[in-house]
Amino acid sequence: MWEASALTITVFLPLVGAALITLIPKAKEEAAKPVALGVSLLAFLLSLAILAGYYLGPPGGEGLAYQLRVDWIPVIDASYHVAIDGISLPLFVLSYLLTFLCAVYTFHHLEEPGRPKAFLSLMLLLQTGMAGTFVAFDLVLFFVFWELVLVPMYFMIGIWGGPRREYAAVKFFLYTLFGSVFMLVAFIALYFAGPGTFDIVALQQAGAAGEFGLTFQRLAFLGIFLGLAVKVPMWPFHTWLPDAHTEAPTVGSVLLAGILLKMGTYGFVRIALPILPDAAVEYAPIIGALAVIAILYGALCCLAQTDLKRLIAFSSVGHMGFVMLGIATLTPVGVNAAIFGMIAHGIITGMLFFAVGSIKERYHSRAIADIGGGVLQTMPRMGAVLTFVAIASLGLPPLPGFWGEVVALYAAFNPAEALVDAGFLTFFRVLMVLGAIGTVLTAGYFLNMLQKVTMGTAPARWREADLSDVSAIEWGAWSPLLVMTVAIGLVPVLVFGITDPAVSAVLTALGA
Amino acid sequence: MDVDQATQIDLFALAPELAVLGASLLVLLIELFLHGPRKRFVNPIAVLGVLVAFGFVVALWLDGAQRSSFGQMFVVDDYALAFKGFFLAVALFVLLISYRYFSEIRTFQGEYYFLMLAAFLGMMLMPSARDLVMLFIALELVSVPGFIMAGLRKFDLRSNEGAMKFFLFGVLSAAVLLFGLSIVYGFTGTTTLEGVAASLSAGEANPLLLAATLFVIAGFGFKVSAVPFHFWAPDTYEGAPIPVTAFLAVASKAAGFAGLLQVTFVAFEPLADVWAPVLGVVAILTMTLGNLTALTQTNMVRLLAYSSVAHAGYVLVPFAVVQPGDAALNADAFSAVLVYLFAYGAMNIGAFAVVIAVARRHPGRRVSDYAGLGQRSPGLAVALTTFLVSLGGIPPLVGFVAKLAVFFVAVEAGTTLGIVLAAAVAINTVISLVYYLRVARVVWMEEAPEPEPEPVQPGLALGFTVGGLAVVTVALFVLAPLLWGAADQAVLIASG
């Protein structure tokens, strides 16, 4: 019973919580916070139970588990098919962890205009969309969850965001939608070209068996690529991201960076590569090139930023570039590195946005010049946290940022056989070198940021302002992330051990 | 057909229509004996008539047999019943949103409800009509009450202008339609839809005949406000009482599509390679023009009017992929049209219901009137957002199912036109979200002007409509198989 219903219960529990919260009378609006906390904690514990069950239960850490397949729209053979494997499991659990921590964080601070009831029900709705995307094994269902995140995030940015919130919210929505409608058309094309189903498992088998012709694959891949690339976001589709991240409230930024971006890269691993393997080989060099451009471009933009939040936002463009470079190699090593990179980026950048959000809340400004340095003086603990996560993010071994980047670069040195046969070995090695230069630039801008923000002498007005250091609630929300940063950095096999068998299974179509 | 056959009447088959007819006459009669504010009690009578008719439709559906009257002119089958059920549900909601509106205006209540029920009588005849003459009668029975209802706000110049435009366009298109029908009759020698199809597939395609099919399609194009026959729509919608606007944008449009379905998929099916590409171009123009014009609207009703023009474009997409003789594809296209119309009905009436509620406080109907609605009336604001997002085709709402159905057949056709249409719908979806989100932004993210207006009091009937349709909009997404399955059951295409 639990086996079949576990994912459904866990995915829709936050939705039920959101409905409950809307029933709270307006006069007792603060009661929304403990309810959201309780619901998200319970959901997080359920996701941990699923994680534990995956190892201890029948699959024993391999293959699909917790499957449930119920017919939904029989006319078009769209089903409610959910399952989980080693690729989705870490992202699935991470989404619950981050939402739970965000619920904790709202006890500390919620941006103007407050209204925790509306905010938290949107956050829980968002959680259902995020988690559902990672467990959907039907293209229509995947698309439903994929789009489900748009509306809550639109309102989170648009109501609780910074000065340019309305512009940023609409831009976020329209960019993502623009990509995804073409993805939907490509999904339907897969239905008609293949075995007449939207089931991802069946389509993967069809892809491995070579049922799709090359011309068809090129077009379908293009459609899917548009949808996913906007979400990742890959250069040159990234322009919504700096605006959305910068203007979003802290919780919105954390979830956007921590989970929403991963939906795009996850889609490449789950859908684009295994179902359309031949087109993947043709597109891989382009994806690799765009990824490296993103790495370098992101780093150069970061060097030029004067806004702390915008800087972190652009750093995401670069980090997602490493993830995409790993995927573009089409090797198990590269894809493992990509998933590791997603988890690492989710934890670290989520944490960075928490820290930056808290700094902004105290300084009432995101501009580096306004802060003027010396955070280590005014708020020593806050400065230490920021320094630690910034260093983790720039990829210092043995913190997790390092593993994602260096393994992706290593994979680019040895791309898949098919790419070597097509004469792209040198090309990928050039990409590797350029990516390595990107890591240096990354270190450069983060150290530059630390120097300007945390070090030096604090301006007199901030020394006299008596800024409060990290609060107990903030420690509560952050310490799990800080601990995990150290843990998966020191023992990367915690993630690689989960992902490796599943990645090999998915890449069989590519002859890996 | 001989006289015996033509005069054979199956009263059970006609029962829903008779119930509506009876209710309409009763309303007209009773209103004479009511005075002052009590005149509003004609509304429940009309509602009762609609419910009785709905009961008959359910009974006919349970009965299951295919029935006919007047020879084969009037047929009751799954297709007809699906549309009748839909029209009656729409009628119910239109009556509910009319109650408060007309009891406050206090004019022409008896006339209004009589005309409304008469129009719905025409709509119910439409899907049963399997004869060109019968189709024309049904179409005019929908149109003529519409002309009058659009002008019911006599004191308002915009209402006069809108009704006048509607009338002139309507009469012109009726003439064009009749002209086309007469040519078709001249060539085929019959007025039954099946007979026309049989004759067309046997004979040579004559250029004049092709022109005649386009005349007929143009006649229906007016009804569904497809570009370039849409010019009346925004002015008429803006000038008409808002319940009438909801009626024109949903019910009358759906009736036009029902007629178009019968004419194109049954009678003119053999000539599909001529009219389908034409409708493809019309579809692209309609959705694009509707959406682009809606972008700049500051009046809420005009915005919804152009939005409904754009939706007509989406519904035309399945028509454009029809291929002669390809029964499987045509059946899918047919069911996509039904899915879209049913979904569109729920979400669009809902949107108009919210507009009526808000218009009680803000008769100007400007989009800026909605500023701060999320604070004042969170329930209405959530419902309005749901309807708008659903109109945009975002899951998990029924609008997504409708868009999916349209994309599905466009891709299924696999032709260049199909792909172009799919791309056009995709791009238009993004454009449409610009203005739907603009309204959502005003509702939730803008502060109300000082002094803050009173919260909107929708009242029982309107509140029930808004809440009920919001639930339907969500529920029909989850229950998409029911919607799609029902549409699939109701497919009516030329046999063979």
**Closest A-chain CA to B446:** A159
Interface of B with A in 172-201 (CB under 8 A): none
Q: Rounded to whole angstroms, how far apart are CA atoms B363 and B360?
A: 6
Query: 């308002």: which residue's tokens?
Result: B156
**DSSP-assigned beta bridge partners for residue A199:** A138
C-alpha dihedral, B323 to B328 to B333 to B334, nearest 10°: 110
pLDDT of residue B53: 95
Q: Which helix (H) or strand (E) holds A116?
A: helix A116-135
Query: Of B396, B426, B488, which is closest to A182 when you measure between CB atoms?
Result: B426
Asked if residue A301 lies in contact with residue A314, where contact means CB atoms within 8 angstroms, the answer is: yes
Res B496 pLDDT > 50:
no
Which residue type, as a one-letter code, is found at position A135? Answer: V
Within a domain: B191: yes
Alpha-carbon distance B428 to nearest alpha carbon in chain A (angstroms): 10
Asked if residue A403 lies in contact with residue A344, where contact means CB atoms within 8 angstroms, the answer is: yes
* Contact list, B414 vs chain A (CB under 8 Å): 192
Quickly list DSSP for B463-476.
HHHHHHHHHHHHHH
| Helices B272-295 and B300-320: angle between axes, nearest 10 degrees | 160
pLDDT digit string (tens) for B290-331? 999 999 999 999 999 999 999 999 999 999 999 888 888 999
Alpha-carbon distance B426 to nearest alpha carbon in chain A (angstroms): 5
Which residue type, as a one-letter code, is found at position A28? Answer: K
pLDDT of residue A60: 59
Cα distances (Å, whole numbers) of residue B232 to A183, B170, B223: 36, 9, 10
Structural tokens at position A201: 């498992």
Q: What is the CA radius of gyration of chain B?
A: 22
pLDDT of residue B345: 93
Which of B141, B351, B343 has the alpha carbon at shortest distance from B255?
A: B141
* Longest pairwise C-alpha distance within chain B: 73
Asked if residue A296 lies in contact with residue A235, where contact means CB atoms within 8 angstroms, the answer is: no
Q: Residue B236 — φ and ψ, nearest 5°?
A: -65, -45
Q: Rounded to whole angstroms, how far apart are CA atoms A419 and A278?
A: 11
pLDDT digit string (tens) for B435-456? 999 999 999 988 887 777 777 8
Structural tokens at position B291: 């959406």
Give first-to-last CA distance, chain B, whole Å.
23
pLDDT of residue A511: 66
Interface of A with B in 210-269 (CB under 8 A): none
Q: Rounded to whole angstroms, how far apart are CA atoms B53 and B23?
A: 9
Which residue type, as a one-letter code, is found at position B31? Answer: E
Res B184 pLDDT > 80:
yes
Is residue A213 exposed (0-12), middle (13-18) or buried (19+ Cβ within 10 Å)?
exposed
| Helices B460-478 and B78-105: angle between axes, nearest 10 degrees | 150
**DSSP-assigned beta bridge partners for residue B129:** B74
Query: 């989705």: which residue's tokens?
Result: A88
Within a domain: B349: yes
Quickly list DSSP for A4-28.
HHHHHHHHHHHHHHHHHHHHS-GGG
Q: Rounded to whole angstroms, how far apart are CA atoms B381 and B378?
A: 5
Half-sphere exposure (Cβ direction) of A404: Cα atoms closer than 13 Å? 32
Is residue B16 exposed (0-12), middle (13-18) or buried (19+ Cβ within 10 Å)?
buried
The residues, ordered by sequence, that sit 6+ positions from B20 with a Cβ below 8 Å of its Cβ are B49, B50, B53, B91, B117, B120, B121, B124
**DSSP-assigned beta bridge partners for residue B75:** B68
Chain centroid, CA A100 distance in Å: 16
The residues, ordered by sequence, that sit 6+ positions from A168 with a Cβ below 8 Å of its Cβ are A157, A158, A161, A162, A240, A243, A244, A246, A247, A248
Domain count, chain B: 1
Asked if residue B303 lies in contact with residue B435, where contact means CB atoms within 8 angstroms, the answer is: yes
Which residue type, as a one-letter code, is found at position B484? Answer: W
Asked if residue B384 lies in contact with residue B348, where contact means CB atoms within 8 angstroms, the answer is: no
Cα distances (Å, whole numbers) of residue A291 to A225, A275, B439: 13, 21, 37
Q: Rounded to whole angstroms, how far apart are CA atoms B26 and B46?
A: 8
Within a domain: B494: no
Q: Rounded to whole angstroms, how far apart are CA atoms A91 and A96?
A: 9
Specify the 3-state DSSP secondary structure of B137.
helix
C-alpha dihedral, B79 to B84 to B87 to B89, nearest 10°: -110
Higher-confidence residue of B408 and A460: namely B408
Asked if residue B303 lies in contact with residue B311, where contact means CB atoms within 8 angstroms, the answer is: no
Alpha-carbon distance A147 to nearest alpha carbon in chain B (angstroms): 6
Give first-to-last CA distance, chain A, whole Å.
36
Query: Of A75, A143, A181, which is closest to B430 when you measure between CB atoms?
Result: A181
Within a domain: B496: no
Within a domain: B495: no
Q: Rounded to whole angstroms, how far apart are CA atoms B412 and B332?
A: 9
Q: Is cis: bond before A249, omega within 30 of 0?
A: no
Interchain CB distance below 8 Å, A165 and B445 = yes
* Longest pairwise C-alpha distance within chain A: 70
Q: Rounded to whole angstroms, how far apart are CA atoms A263 and A429?
A: 28
**DSSP-assigned beta bridge partners for residue A71:** A79
Residue-by-residue pLDDT tens, chain A, 512 positions: 788 899 999 999 999 999 999 998 888 888 999 999 999 999 999 999 999 888 777 665 667 888 899 999 888 889 999 999 889 999 999 999 999 999 999 998 888 888 899 999 999 999 999 999 999 999 999 999 999 999 999 999 999 988 889 999 999 999 999 999 999 999 999 999 888 899 999 999 898 888 898 999 999 999 999 999 999 989 889 999 999 999 999 999 999 999 999 999 999 999 999 999 999 999 999 999 999 999 999 999 999 999 999 999 999 999 999 999 999 999 999 999 999 999 999 999 999 999 999 999 998 888 888 888 888 888 889 999 999 999 999 888 889 888 889 999 999 999 998 889 988 999 999 999 999 999 999 999 999 999 989 888 888 888 888 888 888 899 999 999 999 999 999 998 888 888 888 888 888 767 65
Query: Of A76, A148, A166, which is closest to B441 when you measure between CB atoms?
Result: A166
pLDDT of residue A58: 66
Within a domain: B273: yes
Is A169 at the interface with chain B, CB within 8 A? yes
Give the helix ranges, DSSP H, for A330-424.
332-363, 368-371, 375-378, 380-393, 400-413, 417-421
Q: Rounded to whole angstroms, how far apart are CA atoms A348 and A346?
A: 6
CA angle A280, A283, A285 (to 5 degrees): 115
Q: Which of B332, B411, B420 to mutate against chain A (most A CBs within 10 Å)? A: B411
**Closest A-chain CA to B408:** A188
Domain that holds residue B181: 3-489
Tell me the mean pLDDT in the region B169-189: 92
Residue A79 DSSP class? E
pLDDT digit string (tens) for B262-291? 999 988 888 888 899 999 999 999 999 999
CA angle A142, A148, A152 (to 5 degrees): 155
Asked if residue A248 lies in contact with residue A156, where contact means CB atoms within 8 angstroms, the answer is: yes
Asked if residue A167 lies in contact with residue A243, where contact means CB atoms within 8 angstroms, the answer is: yes
Quickly list DSSP for A375-397.
HHHH-HHHHHHHHHHHHHHTT-T
Which residue type, as a one-letter code, is found at position B420? Answer: V
Structural tokens at position B403: 């868009």
Interface of B with A in 422-441 (CB under 8 A): 422-423, 425-427, 429-430, 433-434, 437, 441
Is B314 at the interface with chain A, CB within 8 A? no
Which residue type, as a one-letter code, is found at position B99? Answer: Y
Interchain CB distance below 8 Å, B429 and A181 = yes
Give the helix ranges, DSSP H, for B229-298.
232-239, 242-246, 253-261, 272-295
Within a domain: B17: yes
Q: How many CB atoms lie within 10 A of CB A474?
A: 23
pLDDT digit string (tens) for B102-152? 887 767 778 899 999 999 999 999 999 989 999 999 999 999 999 999 988
Within a domain: B132: yes
The residues, ordered by sequence, that sit 6+ positions from A286 with a Cβ below 8 Å of its Cβ are none
**Closest A-chain CA to B488:** A75
Interchain CB distance below 8 Å, B445 and A158 = yes
Interchain CB distance below 8 Å, B481 and A71 = yes
Structural tokens at position A268: 């490449």
Q: Rounded to whole angstroms, how far apart are CA atoms A252 and B436?
A: 22
Res B5 pLDDT > 70:
no
